Amino acid sequence: MIEVYSKALQESISVERIIKKIKGTQEGPTMVFFGGIHGNESAGVFALEKVLKTIDQTNVKGTIYGITGNLNALEQGKRYIDADLNRLWTFDQLAMLDMTPKKHSETQEQIDIYNILKDILKTEKGPFYFIDLHTTSSKTLPFITINDALINRKFSKLFPVPIVLGIEEYLHGPLLSYVNELGYVSLGFESGQHNDKKSITNNIAFINLALHFTSVYQSEEIEKYKKQLQKAAEGLSDMFEVIHLHRILNGDTFEMQLGYKSFEDVKRGNVLALYNNEELKSRYSGKIFMPLYQEKGKEGFFIIRRIRPFFLKLSEWLRYIRADKLFVLMPGITWENKRKEVLRVNLLVAKFLAKPIFHLLGYRSRQLDASHLRISNRERAAKFKMYKNEAWYK
Ligand SMILES: [Zn+2]
């Protein structure tokens, strides 16, 4: 049991690793909510505690879990103690987890959460939904982040807030990318600024809507929640794609110009930050996204752009017909293994293929070395069959 404090509400609550598990009297999906993977983001924990305690178990179809993230850091109100718990979820790291010496406070947290996760997938029934609740250091409209798989796109379109995809190409090891690589629907929801009261109320609305869309639990106030999020998002509900990240390297100093908020328009040439005491100008026109206004964190800011509906449709179609089969006919491109989810691209040979083409087909890339890209496909991993009978999927 730990104490978590909310600066917004000026109150504390006591929570355990599992805030609450509600097993319904009827069968249905399993919904797993995480709050406080970052310890200075208590809004999700407060919202989960508030919503789950009011739910009448006899009206639940399926199972609901509310899980706390970084207990130690939550108690101290810090993003993390030794290592960012939302950057540790790679397959390599997980394979070594039992052998990792516990020099990090976060190692034990990860072991605990990993065990719960495995247990849920083993003992509960699908379809599974994973939702991770976060807040940001800057002011922001509420928004969803997803890994770019069609099941994620489709489910997240139900919520009246903007959606940002492609962030997984820039972040290494977020929890949800891991869950998504297992093939399940997984959404990140950023509800507002860390210490803003609205971040809690937006989370409450979001949790209720998610339970409603999956038919796990029906609240009577769904219309109210929809309107609330719509208003908070200022009517914006487009899909955006990350086109740039300003990464902060070890030892560098970074100071964001004051006053930027997520989704604000920026023009090429606008001064965005002081980087190593020099003015850093935007190389792109677009919208600024998640500017960093706290000490901890390696991502200075992102630039995002709206994806035009034509390209959304085109990419959907190309994925349905599995056009990526054509890639391996091209020189320099091979499947990494028999599962056909990962391509290796020799850049010296396949120079002509640009990232946007891979993106259209659901691939996200990682540079392996100077001449090779490793690109993995979300579509081929997605367990879309698991969701095909769900009301929102049809
Ligand atoms: Zn966070």
From the CA of 80, how far away is ligand 1's center (Å)? 10
The domain spanning residue 228 has which CATH number? 3.40.630.10
From the CA of 38, how far away is ligand 1's center (Å)? 5
From the CA of 169, how far away is ligand 1's center (Å)? 17
Whether the Cβ atoms of residue 95 and residue 179 lie closer than 8 Å to each other: no
* Residue 57 shares a structural domain with residue 154: yes
DSSP 278-347: EEEE-SS-EEEE----SSS-SEEEEEEEEPPHHHHHHHHHHHHTTGGGGGGGSTTEEESSTT--EEEEET
From the CA of 348, how far away is ligand 1's center (Å)? 37
Helix axes 197-213, 222-232, angle to 10 degrees: 130
Of 306, 325, 357, the last residue of a domain is 306
From the CA of 271, how far away is ligand 1's center (Å)? 25
From the CA of 230, how far away is ligand 1's center (Å)? 22
Tens digit of each residue's pLDDT, the chain (394 residues): 999 999 999 999 999 999 999 999 999 999 999 999 999 999 999 999 999 999 999 999 999 999 999 999 999 999 999 999 999 998 888 888 877 777 788 999 999 999 999 999 999 988 999 999 999 998 899 999 998 888 999 999 999 999 998 887 788 889 998 998 899 999 999 999 999 999 999 999 999 999 999 999 998 899 999 999 999 999 999 999 998 999 998 889 999 999 999 999 999 999 999 999 999 999 999 999 999 998 888 899 999 999 988 888 888 888 777 777 777 777 778 888 777 777 787 877 666 666 677 777 777 766 667 777 777 777 777 888 899 999 998 8
Of 182, 207, 237, the last residue of a domain is 237
* Residue 102 shares a structural domain with residue 29: yes
In a domain, 391, yes or no: no
From the CA of 178, how far away is ligand 1's center (Å)? 16
* Residue 227 shares a structural domain with residue 79: yes
pLDDT at residue number 104: 86
* Residue 168 shares a structural domain with residue 252: no
List the shell of residues around ion ligand 1, using CB closer than 5 Å: 38, 41, 134
From the CA of 134, how far away is ligand 1's center (Å)? 4
* Residue 51 shares a structural domain with residue 185: yes
From the CA of 216, how far away is ligand 1's center (Å)? 26
Distance CA 83, CA 160 (A): 33
Contacts of 250 (CB under 8 A, 6+ apart): none
* Residue 185 shares a structural domain with residue 253: no
Looking at the 3D structure of the chain, how many domains does it have?
A: 3
In this prediction the pTM is: 0.90
pLDDT at residue number 335: 82
From the CA of 70, how far away is ligand 1's center (Å)? 11
Domain of 114, in residue numbers: 2-237
Region of 230 on the Ramachandran plot (φ > 0 left; ψ -120 to 50 alpha; else beta):
alpha
From the CA of 189, how far away is ligand 1's center (Å)? 9
In a domain, 393, yes or no: no
* Residue 103 shares a structural domain with residue 74: yes
pLDDT, tens digit, 9 for 90 and up, residues 287-320: 999 999 988 888 999 999 999 888 888 888 887 7
From the CA of 75, how far away is ligand 1's center (Å)? 15
From the CA of 238, how far away is ligand 1's center (Å)? 22
